[in-house]
Amino acid sequence: MFRIIGRAISLARDSKTTLNNFIKTIHPDHHTNASPDIIKTNSNALKELNQYIEKVHKNAGVDKITLQFYIKADKYQQASVELLSIKPNVSPTLKEMHLSR
């Protein structure tokens, strides 16, 4: 398994690229030949990620979550991403410091 820490939602250009690449990697449309369970797992992970990002953009605060999903190398492997908690109403400077840990 590998981890991408909450930094992936940073507004920095390299982080946006990382996030977009991650989304493309797990997006169910790219796994049409996978089992229904894999497609469902990746769909749920993507929904949770979108909710997390939306809350961060609204400065609502988020709890730490771990997303479970599948990636395909030679075969499908289960992996996870840990997204860190962020308190509500954090200043942009503090939020960026927190996300860059």
pTM: 0.73
Average pLDDT over residues 36-50: 93
The total of other beta-carbon atoms located within 10 Å of residue 21's CB is 10
Report d(CA 95, CA 42) in Å as an integer.
27
Q: Confidence class of residue 97 from pLDDT cuts 50, 70 and 90?
A: low
**Token reading at 101:** 């840990």
